[in-house]
Structure 1
Amino acid sequence: MIEDYSTLLGLLVAGFGSGVSVGMGSGTASPIIIPILTLLISSSIHQAIGTSLFVDFIIGCTAGVLFLFHSRVNFKTVLYLGIPGLIGAIVGSRFTSSASETGLNLFLGIIVIFIGINFLVNGIQKNLDLIQNKISFEWFRENSKIFFPVSGIILGGISGFLGIGVSGIIALILIFVVQYDIHTAIGTSLLIMSFIAGAGAIGHIASREIIWTAAIFAATGASIGALSGSTFANKINSDLLGRILGGIILLLGILITVRTILF
């Protein structure tokens, strides 16, 4: 039980900030929540991951439902990616205690930084046109019934293992491979994240790797933040939203890299 009011307030604020950024442009709460937990209350990395996944689950539900209300979610994709992702997340969460995450985190962080810079500088459409001219995703579109489940299992495994909500990665797949508009890609990815992060959280809860007081306070702030962020995202144009997504992805990559080096 956490009885320090300043710590509880810090968790509430951290959750709110995570909710705003993820609800507005997808991503994950883990680069904020995990360091906060390890620094403020000296939690183990395994407890921090489980708690972070619970927060991502709440954000995904809150923001995803709001995007759904605005008809910016593709349910078929949610099922094709979300259910396999759920299975992958449960499996991945079982291996957290016994494996090193440093190499994969560094690799992921560098790739995400590169993508974020491109989105922030060039906007969504220029990047989309460039990639579509250089790379053919036709096979993936024609074989989406194979590609989506396999991708879901892999991303779910990464999420359950590392405590990353992966909605940002899913949004990129939906934008570049499936050619969704950015609003639908973000809305669909957030709802998928609720499946994946929720399953990963359950796996960690089963191993008693969650701090309930921290989870409840951070998730409360996150739900308010997600509602605010996703409301704003649904009111702005695609180019601005694409640049915001780039900024969030860039920040996410930096935080993942710094967290890996320092923690």
Structure 2
Amino acid sequence: MISQYLISVLAGWGAGAVTGIIGASAAAVIVPVLITFLDIPTFEAIGISLATDVVASLVAANTYRRNGNIDLKSGLQMAISAIVGAIIGSWISSYVPSARLGGFTGVAILLIGINFIRKPLHQRIQTIQEKHKNDPNISNVKRITSSILWGLLIGFIAGFVGAGGGVMILLILTLVLRYKIHVAVGTSVLIMAFTALSGAVSHALYAPIPWNLLAFAVVGGALGSKMAAIFANSVSEEKLSKIAGVAFILLGAMTIIDGIIS
């Protein structure tokens, strides 16, 4: 019993660290750990990861808020549509067999890891912005429409596989809504908190969530997210991206293998 709580805390801490450093979702850490070591059904593991995402994201967002790096006004339509998408994704995932759902999650995490290793996120954004810097300004209608559609897609993925969508939200804020990178990171983490909350509540309605494990995971997530800010300031973004990439690949592969064995 004690080992279950310890694993939950460590999983939450790792998830919070990932969220605080690069704005990625808790699902990348919590879901494969809970499935592999505690044999938690995938749907319930996703619910725990989403709830942990809420706390870890709010802790990280508070740091960005103190530095004036959050602008939710322009991204409000994306936040609302992402919440709707998360509710739909959670509802659909409740009908998917646990092993198959775990496979979907594992593949998603694996692909995230490969992308982080191939090219750090901040370099990818800079390259695309440089390529399109001479493009004519996008109309407000097109920006709003794009943010709503992307918000629905990101929210759906969040509800379906438990990924809060922070990295994808970050890309849309920088490339479509033209946010500055620091403001985009802060705003994306805050939006992810709302998205994860709607997904977590939806999961709780469709299946019982082990609240004792959830409580320990949330505590770990808060601690990890807070500590991540200190670590992030001591290493380069490129190094952080590669470290996260390796971790995601290992966790994604672990989830896929466990799903095949099951």
TM-score by length of 1: 0.84
1:124 equivalent in alignment to 2:119: no
Aligned-residue identity in percent: 28
Q: Taking structure 1 as reference, are residues 163 and 110 closer, same or farther at Cα in structure 2, changes over 3 Å only?
A: closer
SS in 2 for 1:14: helix
Alpha carbons 2:81, 2:148 under 8 Å: kept: yes
Alpha carbons 1:57, 1:193 under 8 Å: kept: yes
Match among 244, 249, 255 for residue 248 of structure 1: 244
Question: Which range moves more in the overlay, 246-255 or 182-191?
Answer: 246-255
Q: Taking structure 1 as reference, are residues 221 and 118 closer, same or farther at Cα in structure 2, changes over 3 Å only?
A: same
Q: Which amino acid aligns with 1:131?
A: I
1:49 equivalent in alignment to 2:46: yes
Number of residue-to-residue matches in the alignment: 254
Q: Deviations over 1:112-171 (max 9, x none)?
A: 344312434xx734x344324556895894321111111111110111011111112212
Structure 1 residue ranges, 4+ long, deviating more than 6 angstroms after superposition: none
CA distance in structure 1 between the aligned counterparts of 2:75 and 2:253, rounded to whole angstroms: 29
Q: Taking structure 1 as reference, are residues 105 and 47 closer, same or farther at Cα in structure 2, changes over 3 Å only?
A: closer
How far off is 1:76 after superposition?
1.6
Question: Which range moves more in the overlay, 223-232 or 208-217?
Answer: 223-232
How far off is 1:255 after superposition?
2.7
Gapped runs of 5+ residues in structure 2? none
1:75 counterpart residue number: 72
Question: Which range moves more in the overlay, 243-252 or 159-168?
Answer: 243-252
Alpha carbons 2:92, 2:160 under 8 Å: kept: yes
Question: Which range moves more in the overlay, 223-232 or 54-63?
Answer: 223-232
How far off is 1:179 after superposition?
4.0
Q: Which amino acid aligns with 2:251?
A: L
CA distance in structure 1 between the aligned counterparts of 2:66 and 2:31, rounded to whole angstroms: 30
Q: Which amino acid aligns with 1:36?
A: V
CA distance in structure 2 between the aligned counterparts of 1:134 and 1:250, rounded to whole angstroms: 28
1:66 equivalent in alignment to 2:63: yes
How far off is 1:9 after superposition?
1.4
Q: Which amino acid aligns with 1:64?
A: A
1:36 equivalent in alignment to 2:33: yes
CA distance in structure 2 between the aligned counterparts of 1:78 and 1:209, rounded to whole angstroms: 33
How far off is 1:230 after superposition?
3.1
Alpha carbons 1:159, 1:196 under 8 Å: kept: yes
Match among 24, 27, 31 for residue 27 of structure 1: 24
Gapped runs of 5+ residues in structure 1? none
Alpha carbons 1:67, 1:230 under 8 Å: kept: no
Alpha carbons 2:32, 2:254 under 8 Å: kept: no
CA distance in structure 2 between the aligned counterparts of 1:34 and 1:67, rounded to whole angstroms: 26
Alignment of 1:174-253 (within 5 A): 174-233=173-232, 235=233, 240-241=236-237, 243-245=239-241, 247-249=243-245, 251-253=247-249
CA distance in structure 2 between the aligned counterparts of 1:104 and 1:140, rounded to whole angstroms: 37
How far off is 1:56 after superposition?
0.9
